[in-house]
């Protein structure tokens, strides 16, 4: 798990689990400051270090444009049942040889 703090307060987090990036969150008061991009860059660097050539993640509808900007491609649109409702999300992947800098 990777965390970013400002003045002792957690502002962003993310996890690499195998070839999957999970739990990337940025505190709403710090969104737009580059923390998400920084967390993703560090997770992708770790993925390369352990020999991965691609990574995958699940993106919520609001988060999809962020991952699109980071050169992730949508491989599937999925839906998960939640009690009386459902949650739509996107399965996305990225080749670690591609650059978004």
Per-residue pLDDT of the chain (101 residues; tens, 9 = 90+): 999 999 999 999 999 999 999 999 999 999 999 999 999 999 999 999 999 999 999 999 999 999 999 999 999 999 988 888 888 999 999 999 866 55
Query: What DSSP string runs through 46-68?
Result: HHHHTT-SEEEEEEETTTHHHHH
Give the pLDDT of residue 99: 66
Which of 41, 58, 47 has its CA nearest to residue 93? 58
Q: What residue ranges define each of the domains in the chain, with the CATH number in brackets? A: 2-95 (3.40.630.30)
**Contacts (Cβ under 8 Å, ≥6 apart) of 85:** none
Q: Give the separation between CA 98 and CA 32, rounded to whole angstroms.
A: 23
* H or E element in which residue 37 lies: helix 35-49
Q: What pTM was computed for the model?
A: 0.89
């Amino acid at each position: 798990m990777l965390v970013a703090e400002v003045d002792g307060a957690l502002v962003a987090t993310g996890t690499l689990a195998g070839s999957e990036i999970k739990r990337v969150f940025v505190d709403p008061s710090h969104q737009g400051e580059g923390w998400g991009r920084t967390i993703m860059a560090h997770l992708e660097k770790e993925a390369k270090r352990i020999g991965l050539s691609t990574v995958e993640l699940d993106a919520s509808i609001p988060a999809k444009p962020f991952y699109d900007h980071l050169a992730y491609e949508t491989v599937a649109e999925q839906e998960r049942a939640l009690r009386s409702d459902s949650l739509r999300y996107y399965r996305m992947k990225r080749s670690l040889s591609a650059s978004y800098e």
